[in-house]
Amino acid sequence: MELFVASEEGGAWYSLTRSGTVTLIVLSLILLVAIGFGKNGSEKERQKVFNVKQLTFSGIAIALSFVLSYVKLLHMPWGGSVTLCSMLFVSLIGYWYGIEAGLTAGFIYGILQFIQGGGSYILDPLQTCLDYFLAFTALGLTGCFRKLKKIPFEIGYIVAVLARGALHSIGGYLYWMDYMPDNFPEKFSAVYPIAYNYAYLIPEMIITLIVISLPPVKKALARVKSMAVG
């Protein structure tokens, strides 16, 4: 069973086959369930990364983020798209349940994003990790702020988005400098990966922060949090 197939342009790029897509979806679901019901700590003190309720809310949040990633509000001139708050719900998992749950959810979301792209941007394993698995895992860094009562979710969200952009940018410097578009100003070529990634991440971040500051949305999120955490 082939999971990947070489592109027609000399084999430098690879794409997921249908079997590969199905396999990754199944593996991501198994991973979520396995980690959710796995143990952490000593034999006497067995703690679940997710309990059943947390697993349910986390699965719904990941699904919502994945669906919203298809809602593209704006296509940027250098590439990339501003989506409709697609990073919000997966970022909430870490803030609700802690760093382990947040990073786990972000990693699984990265698998789904990899599937969404059809694996069509694979150059080598490190590039794939930076662009997909590590970058989206960074959205779980909101979990670092869970117990810091004076720091609101918005701060954790900003940190998580900036961290995601940093990992994308590292991948950009390592792998994508030769693919800089003709419409990018040549005199700023040294910052191309940074400009490319933050050009769509920051607008989406700002839109999301505005949306969650609206009283009806803030009230709705508070109600969901009480159900998810309470």
pLDDT of residue 118: 57
pLDDT at 147: 85
Q: What angle do CA 228, 229, 230 make, to 5 degrees?
A: 105
Q: What is the pLDDT at residue 10? A: 45
CA distance 94 to 99: 5
Return the CATH number at 166.
1.10.1760.20
Both tokens assigned to 216: 């009806």
Number of domains making up the chain? 1
> 52 lies in which domain range?
4-229
Tell me the two tokens of residue 178. Answer: 């030769």
Tokens 């949305």 locate to 217
Question: pLDDT tens digits for 174-200?
Answer: 999 998 999 999 999 999 999 999 999
pLDDT at 123: 81
CA atoms within a 13 Å half-sphere pointing along the CA-CB vector of 207: 15
> Residue 17: its pLDDT value, please?
58
pTM over 0.85: no
* pLDDT at residue number 41: 47
Nearest to 54 by CA among 95, 113, 112: 95
Residues in the chain, pLDDT under 50: 1-4, 8, 10-11, 39-46
The pairs formed by 143-152 with CB atoms below 8 angstroms and a separation of 24 or more are: 143/93, 143/94, 143/95, 143/97, 143/98, 143/99, 143/100, 143/101, 143/102, 143/103, 144/94, 144/99, 145/95, 146/94, 146/95, 146/96, 146/97, 146/98, 146/99
